[in-house]
């Protein structure tokens, strides 16, 4: 189980926290745009 910040809080053994993609926030459009996703190999 992960919290809203993508940190492991329950369900060990989770090897790492979840990867959080890079993003940009737009206050004019009230939106978030993902600018870079990490490859699956980076998540392990």
Which DSSP helix (H) or strand (E) runs through 42?
helix 40-43
Letter string b/e over residues 8-29, b meaning 16 or more CB atoms within 10 A of that residue's CB: eeeeeeeeeeeeeeeeeeeeee
Q: Are 19 and 8 in contact (CB under 8 A)?
A: no
* Average confidence (pLDDT) per 10 residues, the chain, 44 residues: 79 74 89 80 47
pTM over 0.85: no
- Following CA atoms 35, 38, 8, 32 in sequence, which dihedral angle do they give, to the nearest 10 degrees? 10
- Rounded to 5°, the CA angle 42-44-25 comes to 50
């Amino acid at each position: 189980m992960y919290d809203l910040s993508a940190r492991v809080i329950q369900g060990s053994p989770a090897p790492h926290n979840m990867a959080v993609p890079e993003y940009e926030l737009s206050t004019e459009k009230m939106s978030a745009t993902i600018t870079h996703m990490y490859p699956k190999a980076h998540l392990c």
